Amino acid sequence: MILYTPLSETDIFPSSDKDFQKRQCASHNGRQVYVEETQDGQYQLLQLLSTDPQDFMNPDYTPGTMLR
Amino acid sequence: MDKEPSKKDNQNQEQGDQANNSSLVQKIQQLGQSNVAQAPDSNIHVLSIIGQIEGHVQLPAQNKTTKYEHMLPQIIAVEQNPKIEGLIILLNTVGGDVEAGLALSEMIASMSKPTVSIVLGGGHSIGVPIAVSADYSFIAPTATMTIHPIRLNGLVIGVPQTFEYMDKMQDRVIDFVVRHSNMPEDKFKELMFAKGNLTRDIGTNVIGTDAVEYGLIDGVGGVSKAMMKVNELINNNQGPENQVIQ
């Protein structure tokens, strides 16, 4: 399918509320993290919200990590 | 008697190995590498402003956004933590919500600790006031900044009133940039309303060295220059009373 339109993709295919409900901002070991709930009920880290550069060196907070 | 504990140890080790292996596999899957370097604690923190600046409306999930409700508490935390002496702001943004962007800019500008910003890739639209809000700003030679009039999409109720409001909002952006950079107001307005630079649009796309020539950004550089500058500002900020007398 080819769309030729000045509208943005999301104007034509609006993203569902489900996408938002799965994502949330949470606190994990004192650090703010942005997580997504996976199908099996675990939380996968999407983004670490920290200003400390050392936190980004911590292998426990690499994006994609399953949080416990 | 001797055998039993060793068997237990073996079991423990096996379990440990399994856990290690699975985390190792996960790391390789996510990062393509098995280990990341370790370094001592840092007195300089980093605030990355990446993607769109999200305001009152939540953008669809596939957009990469900077949410100002996440950023503002972090700025407060950096300001009040005595161990943190300086802040580096990394910018790669296409712009976004004007008032969220101005909120971030004002927060950064009103910090007492030294701040240095680096524009990487792009610092467009509302990224411009955020870039200049730091005490000292750098731009990568290949980075660009688009200066253009502010825009609004969506339903407008009361066109003349909205126009007035937008005009005032634009003045706030111009005022902020003029106050926090070395660019004269008439030059900034000239670039903002220039014709012919952006094919059929008005505005100007300013690239690395040009931004410095116009006085919008303080210097061309990257990580090393920004680190040097922030350390220099930290030393100046500490004043003579805190320095060790030799």
Task: Kindly provide the residue ranges of all beta strands, DSSP E only, lying in B64-139, ordered along the sequence.
Answer: 65-67, 86-96, 115-123, 136-139
Looking at A3-17, B16-30, B63-77, B126-140, which range is the least confident one? B16-30
| One domain, residues B84 and B198 | yes
For A4-58, give the DSSP string.
Answer: --SS-HHHHSPPPHHHHHHEEEEEETTEEEEEEE-TTS-EEEEEEE-S-GGGGG-
* Mean pLDDT, range A46-63, rounded to an integer: 88
Same domain for B74 and B95: yes
Those residues of chain B whose CB sits closer than 8 Å to some CB in chain A are 26-27, 29-31, 35-39, 41-42, 44-47, 58, 60-62, 70, 74, 77-78, 84, 87
| Residue of B74, B76, B200, B223 to mutate, testing the A interface (most A Cβ within 10 Å of its Cβ) | B74
* B197 band by pLDDT with thresholds 50, 70 and 90: confident
Mean pLDDT computed over every residue of chain B: 87
Question: Are B15 and B134 in a shared domain?
Answer: no
Whether B148 and B50 map to the same domain: the answer is: yes
Domain count, chain B: 2
pLDDT at residue B12 is higher than 60: no
Which H or E element spans position B80? helix B68-80
Identify all chain A residues contacting B84, using CB atoms and an 8 Å cutoff: 51
Same domain, B53 and B149: yes
The model's pLDDT over B180-189, given as tens digits with 9 standing for 90+, comes to 999 999 999 9
Same structural domain for residues B125 and B201?
A: yes
Q: What is the pLDDT of residue A6?
A: 84
In terms of domains, do B76 and B99 share one? yes
Nearest-by-Cβ selection for A59 from B36, B61, B77: B36
ipTM for the complex shown = 0.76
Instruction: Quickly list DSSP for B161-224.
Output: HHHHHHHHHHHHHHHHHHHHSS--HHHHHHHHT-EEEETTEESEEEEHHHHHHHTSSSEE--HH
Both B59 and B91 in one domain: the answer is yes
Contact A51 B38 (CB under 8 A): no
**Smallest CA–CA separation between B87 and chain A, in Å?**
9
Q: Are residues B111 and B196 located together in one domain of the fold?
A: yes
- Name the minimum distance, in Å, from the CA of A38 to any CA of chain B: 15
- The predicted model gives B219-229 an average pLDDT of 95
Q: Point out the residues of B that are catalytic.
A: 125, 148
Instruction: Determine the structural domain holding residue B87 and report its residue range.
Output: 44-242
More confident of the two residues A68 and B229: B229
Residue A15 contacts B where some CB pair is shorter than 8 Å: yes
pTM above 0.90, yes or no: no
The sign one gets for the Cα dihedral B100, B102, B107, B111 is positive
Q: Are residues B58 and B179 in the same domain?
A: yes
pLDDT digits (tens, 9 = 90+) for B111-129: 999 999 999 999 999 999 9
B26 CA: distance to closest CA in chain A (Å) = 7
Residue B5 and residue B19 share a domain: yes
B1 confidence band (pLDDT: 50, 70, 90):
very low
- CB of A49 less than 8 A from some CB of B: yes
A39 inside 8 A of chain B by CB: no
Whether residue B121 is found in the same domain as residue B2:
no
CATH number of the domain encompassing residue B105: 3.90.226.10
B191, B147 in Cβ contact below 8 A? yes
Closest CA to B234 of B119, B123, B118, B116: B116
> CB contact, 8 Å: A19 with chain B?
yes
